[in-house]
Amino acid sequence: MQSAASHAHHPVPTYIASALWLAAAIAFGGAVIFGWSTQAIAFACLLLAVFVNISIERVYTTGLQDRIIMLEMKVRCAEFLPAGQDANLAKLSKKQMAALRFASDDELGSLLERAARENLSPKDIKASIRTWRPDPHRT
């Protein structure tokens, strides 16, 4: 459980990428200013930093997208379902909610109940959808 004492955020991959960028800058600077033969090390550090940053970008993007999908589903369920039925969302995983978002408004309630009751896999949820609701904004 998170508390004020354990709330500190330490983005280790970001620290690693920053250290690699700094090492590359020092190696390039040393090569230019002092004539060190560190170009190969500098390029290796630079490539690793780029790789780490691309990985971070993908992880952060999909994580943020999952949070947005969960919020979207909570709002949709609160808007289209009878009071209390949206409580079934708490029984679903992020992947199950992501699959459920493709269900039309008409079948959302029944599919949500079924998914929660039978613990349907995301694949089974998608297979159960009769009228698909497109998601043209997926990244």
- Provide the residue ranges of all domains of the chain, joining segments of one domain with +: 13-128
DSSP state of 131: S
Residues 76 and 100 sit within 8 Å (Cβ to Cβ)? no
Residue type, 68: I
Residues 92 and 115 sit within 8 Å (Cβ to Cβ)? yes
Average pLDDT over residues 24-40: 95
* 53-82 per-position pLDDT tens digit: 999 999 999 999 999 999 999 999 999 898
- Using the predicted structure, report yes or no on whether residue 117 has a pLDDT greater than 90: yes
Residues 46 and 24 sit within 8 Å (Cβ to Cβ)? yes
Phi, psi for 103 (deg, rounded to 5): -70, 145
Phi, psi for 35 (deg, rounded to 5): 75, 20
Is the pTM above the cut of 0.85?
no
Residues 39 and 45 sit within 8 Å (Cβ to Cβ)? no
Residues 128 and 114 sit within 8 Å (Cβ to Cβ)? yes
- Two structure tokens written together for 46: 């630079």
